[in-house]
Amino acid sequence: MRFSKYLQLFFVGCFSLVFIFPVNAQSKKDNNKNALKVAAEVKKQVFKLLWDELKDRQLAEKQIESLHQERIQIKIALEKLEFLAKLKSKQEEKPASIIAQQDQDREIQ
């Protein structure tokens, strides 16, 4: 979509330069040379803008991929922490149940 805007800018710039200059023969040749120079400059600027936009888009895609990888790593780390917390709570419950079992054994004796 932006490419069409730049392309329109290029053509409008080229054609408007042709009609702005006077029409006598010598100045028309000079105007054609100037118009070609200006058209080349406009073309260069349009391609530079497109190239910069492409670089920005590629950089944004790389950043998105990096953030996605970070998110996956954080999710894995969170799952590990949850697993360790469950494991620790089970280990803490076992000594309490063992102590209760020992108390019951003492009462029986």
In the prediction, which pLDDT does 29 show? 72
* Single pTM value for the model: 0.47
Q: For each of the chain's 109 residues, which pLDDT tens digit applies?
A: 566 777 777 777 766 666 665 555 566 677 778 888 888 888 888 888 889 989 999 999 999 999 999 999 999 999 999 999 988 887 776 666 666 677 676 666 6
How far does CA 56 lie from the centroid of its chain?
8
**Alpha carbons 52 and 36: distance in angstroms, whole number:** 24
Alpha-carbon span 101 to 72, nearest angstrom: 43
Count of other CB atoms within 10 angstroms of residue 9: 14
The predicted structure's pLDDT at residue 36: 85
Which contacts qualify for 50-54: CB closer than 8 Å, 24 or more apart? 50/2, 50/3, 50/6, 53/2
